[in-house]
Structure 1
Amino acid sequence: MSFADGLVSSEIQGLRERILWHPLWRQIEDGTLERERLSLFALQDWWLVREAYRLDALAIAGIADLEIQDLLIRKLTPKVGGYKLLLRFGEAVGLTRADFDAVEPLAGCMALTNYFYWMLAYGTPAEKLAAVSASEDIFVQICVRVAPALVRNYGLTPEQVAFFSAHDMIGEQVTPVDEALLARYDTPEERKRIERAIHLSHEYEIMFYDTILTTMIK
């Protein structure tokens, strides 16, 4: 069960299914995705992961309630150092640290990143939490399937795909915090804003994965 399962409409559940079974993940599971696209995903996800510390810091700084700040800090702690695991995965699919340092975001990646920053700048506290949490939550579910598929189909080791397998443990620690945070916003108006934030988050997530599949590889 996801923290969002009890919050969203059937329309959003449909979006969640589109993300979970996106062709990007299905091609990894059946071993047909080119290794070059694995590299492209690693680079574009690096852009997002690199921004994550700033996003979490802004979320913490933007909340005046000290109890909520404590919860947000608890949520950040399990994710510390995750970028090192992504670098390890990138190296396993042929990238260098110089490749990561020189990364430029594709349109779908930038759109998702900008959405998170827009929410942090202009959203209500409930919207800020829901927008980022929805994306993190569904990626945890994806990683449960992707990690073993990368080992099975691409000859990678469990250590090389730890960026994905570690998300299961992160989810176990983060999901209860998300539930505790969002439980504080239970008025009809707040729930409406939460649903809208999740809906947009999922649509931008789909756009990001579409970009990985459709971008021409040089």
Structure 2
Amino acid sequence: MNSVTDVLDAAQGHIAKDAEPNRFLDVLEQGRMPRERLRWLAGELHHLVGSDRRSFALLASRFPDPPAGSLYLAMAEGEGEALGLLGDFAAALGMAEPDLRAYEPRPLAQAYPAYLVRSALYGSVSDVALALLANVQESGDTYARVADALVAHYGFEERAVGHFRYFADTPQPLLDQATAALADGLSRGDDPGAAVRCARTVHGLENAFWNCLARGLDPD
């Protein structure tokens, strides 16, 4: 398991076996999500995206040479853009920047960004690159469905869901950079098993993020 194809297939195989329902998305698409939970979403994303921006910047500083340096710097810049777009969603919910900063996050909802910090500190070049490639389709689909549901069922304008549209569509050049970084890392001796484990864990913790925000809601 030394090629990009091998490790990507292995990671996606584990992810498929680990698949669980996205409870938040189910309730959202049924039009039953309480508005207060949408405020939770804005607050949690404010903390999550801000943390991820710093994690990617740390990766860029640890691995500054291309292709990894270019990849992680671009990802850090992307998180900064997404953070700005999140303000439009928050504003539509009556939340200003001080409200987002004052929001007290739920610990389990922040498990994913905490794990990304760990990966940025101790992981290899390959770990987060593979996590991006292995999870991009499902993650993008989730964000697209969130945006569609917010417009269709809750009356949000497109401007307000720009944050979700942004993450719904990962540019191909960024994916190409991730593929190059993964190939380079593996060629330099990165542990492919550790990279697969990172991709699998990221998937599980991203799902935990969404389901944490649906906790306590009535079943269908």
- Normalised to the residue count of structure 1, the TM-score between the two structures is 0.83
The answer for unaligned runs of 5 or more in structure 1 is: none
5 Å-filtered alignment, 1:191-210, equals 191-210=192-211
TM superposition shift of 1:42: 1.1
Q: How many pairs are equivalent?
A: 211
Preserved contact between residue 53 and residue 77 of structure 2 (Cα < 8 Å): no
For structure 1, which segment, 34-43 or 202-211, has the greater mean C-alpha deviation from structure 2 after superposition?
202-211
Provide the C-alpha distance between the structure 2 equivalents of 1:5 and 1:29, rounded to a whole number of angstroms.
30
Preserved contact between residue 116 and residue 132 of structure 1 (Cα < 8 Å): no
Q: Secondary structure at the match of 1:6?
A: helix
Per-residue deviation, residues 74-106 of structure 1 (Å, max 9, x unmatched)? 444444421121111012123232210212221
- Structure 1 outlier segments of 4+, above 6 Å: none
Provide the C-alpha distance between the structure 1 equivalents of 2:151 and 2:174, rounded to a whole number of angstroms.
26
Per-residue deviation, residues 153-202 of structure 1 (Å, max 9, x unmatched)? 00111111111112234444432222222222447973211111111112
Distance 1:156 1:44, change over 3 A: same
TM superposition shift of 1:134: 5.4
- Normalised to the residue count of structure 2, the TM-score between the two structures is 0.82
Partner of 1:13: 16
Identity across the alignment (%)? 22
Partner of 2:152: 152
TM superposition shift of 1:205: 1.8
TM superposition shift of 1:64: 4.9
Partner of 2:45: 45
Provide the C-alpha distance between the structure 1 equivalents of 2:63 and 2:137, rounded to a whole number of angstroms.
21
Preserved contact between residue 52 and residue 79 of structure 2 (Cα < 8 Å): no
Distance 1:167 1:205, change over 3 A: closer
Distance 1:105 1:133, change over 3 A: farther
TM superposition shift of 1:136: 6.1
Preserved contact between residue 54 and residue 76 of structure 2 (Cα < 8 Å): no
Preserved contact between residue 46 and residue 86 of structure 1 (Cα < 8 Å): yes
Partner of 2:88: 88
For structure 1, which segment, 99-108 or 180-189, has the greater mean C-alpha deviation from structure 2 after superposition?
180-189
Q: Give the alignment's Cα RMSD to 1 decimal.
A: 2.7
